[in-house]
A and B are shown apart, each in its own frame.
Chain A
């Protein structure tokens, strides 16, 4: 282990202890900025898989119906054969290349994944190459189709026992993602990829800026602004952005009591919260400029 390794380890150790493992992964770009990616959750990935299967098998079923309809309608021998070939090839390509064709595009996501805000990335941060995408999806053969085959096969006596053993054996592949940090399945391991959250976000208005004129005149004493820390500020931001009347009234009432508000009582809750948000953020940010980050209301420094 080199000196740099030791230094890096020492530098990252306290942060890791402070930030509990909730699926966030360090992802440092060549420019040296940590993008902090979130690993896709099990439920999201499962729903994405279900969506993809719905799309895939749904369109296959529709395609089969169309082929069968044409077959029943024409009965021409040469056409029937062409239809048979077409059907075989299309279902083969669908089953084996549906995932590949979508994930090998720059977006790195199938329709199901995109709907869940997921995408595939190379675990080392490099470009996601076609061979990696092929590897991760060819592995579905033992992760999805093999267990399904065991599930639907029937037998008696020794056969049943063998099928049972096979099901357990293939089940190990299925539950593999439950036992590693990055929730990678077998295919991800064989390809060096992982699935992360990469949702598209819109730039929202700055609460401290826009409605400032509306709440002008509502001022707080420094002591009143010292009641809360960053964590509460973020909760407050969420409450204002969601804009639920009841929640806002509740939060406003709580803040009024906590800071001992003695100003005019007829200010609307939204105006009050906005004014308090702007005031609190200004105070916490200026503290931050002096090197103090107040985590939450219990953080007295």
Chain B
């Protein structure tokens, strides 16, 4: 019956085998990943994909079989995402992130980081001065729940105790670490996401955070505990506050790109800034995890002021070196 066959049916009969082969390979690749395919299969997919694409073009111009063009469109789309999609393994991606992507993204945000840092410093200083003048200001900066009894009403002795309270057993510390980490990371992610609303909410969060720190230091300083309390903060604070400053910087970069996109279109600017900021943020979560461990364990177990300062300073140097040490540009 060959002479009675439609041209489009003959066209399909000739190529159907290849389509089915590509379909089967893609199904396997989608299920087990590219790693589960043989070398020959991997080499064959792009060829079969291009063949399917050309079939699609032909089918669109000669065939009126709707289900056929639909099938080819779906097959080609799947092929496209496999051939041009992300295929690197998790291990490679994670290594690349720590070796190159994260520090590069942090470096690129140096301006926003500086702004975020200055904002924090300014609010720390302001809160400090205000609370030193009038202790009642303390309550405007610090949430009573977070203060946990450490307010101007507390005695100097009890304040000193909070700095050096050594737990009887090591119990409870990992719980504290985990709580601090999840709590802080959630806030950092929030600060980042809020950046989209033209930077302002992020700035507000940074000011609140800095103000709280300043108020605490002022409270302890009034009782002659400035050196000790700063050491207590510094153990984990050098990591945690750095992370929060970076989160603020990430938020700012998005807000800035949306507000002042420059020569690019607003959508392109937002996407570029968003991806870079996301890289920074993924790292911020890691930093906050470290900070949570320090806050939960190191701060409670190490009660010598000098050791606290040393740990904090070592970490700060470490982070600064890791982020800003000049390195070769990515190829």
State the A residues within 8 Å of B (CB). 29-31, 33, 35-37, 77-78, 81-82, 84-85, 88-89, 91-92, 96, 104, 106-108, 119, 121, 123, 125-132, 134-136, 138-143, 146, 169, 173, 186, 189-192, 198-204, 206-209, 212-213, 230, 233-234, 237-238, 241, 278, 281-282, 284-286, 288-289
Which chain B residue lies CB-closest to A170? B197
A96 in contact with B275 (CB, 8 Å): no
A129 in contact with B182 (CB, 8 Å): no
The interface residues of chain A lying within 8 Å CB-to-CB of B97 are 130
A-B contact pairs, 30 of them (CB 8 A): A29-B80, A33-B53, A33-B54, A35-B73, A78-B171, A81-B174, A81-B175, A88-B175, A88-B179, A92-B185, A96-B186, A106-B34, A106-B86, A121-B81, A127-B84, A134-B279, A135-B274, A135-B277, A138-B278, A141-B192, A146-B193, A189-B271, A189-B274, A190-B270, A192-B275, A198-B78, A203-B71, A209-B6, A281-B65, A285-B7
The interface residues of chain B lying within 8 Å CB-to-CB of A286 are 7
Which chain A residue lies CB-closest to B27? A200
The interface residues of chain A lying within 8 Å CB-to-CB of B181 are 88, 92
Interface string of B181-220 (1 = CB under 8 A from A): 1100110011011101100000000000000000000000
State the B residues within 8 Å of A (CB). 1, 4-9, 12-13, 16, 19-20, 23, 29-30, 33-34, 50, 53-54, 56-57, 61-68, 70-71, 73-78, 80-82, 84-87, 93, 97, 101, 171-172, 174-175, 177-179, 181-182, 185-186, 189-190, 192-194, 196-197, 254, 267-268, 270-279, 281-282, 285
Q: Looking at the assembled complex, report how far the CB atom of B18 sits from the nearest CB atom of chain A, in whole angstroms.
A: 12
CA–CA, A243 to B6, complex, Å? 23
B64 in contact with A233 (CB, 8 Å): yes
The interface residues of chain A lying within 8 Å CB-to-CB of B78 are 198, 200
A88 in contact with B182 (CB, 8 Å): yes
B6 in contact with A278 (CB, 8 Å): yes
B64 in contact with A284 (CB, 8 Å): yes
CA–CA, A229 to B278, complex, Å? 52
CA–CA, A78 to B268, complex, Å? 51
A192 in contact with B271 (CB, 8 Å): yes
CA–CA, A139 to B75, complex, Å? 32
Q: Looking at the assembled complex, report how far the CB atom of A86 sits from the nearest CB atom of chain B, in whole angstroms.
A: 8
The interface residues of chain B lying within 8 Å CB-to-CB of A92 are 181-182, 185-186
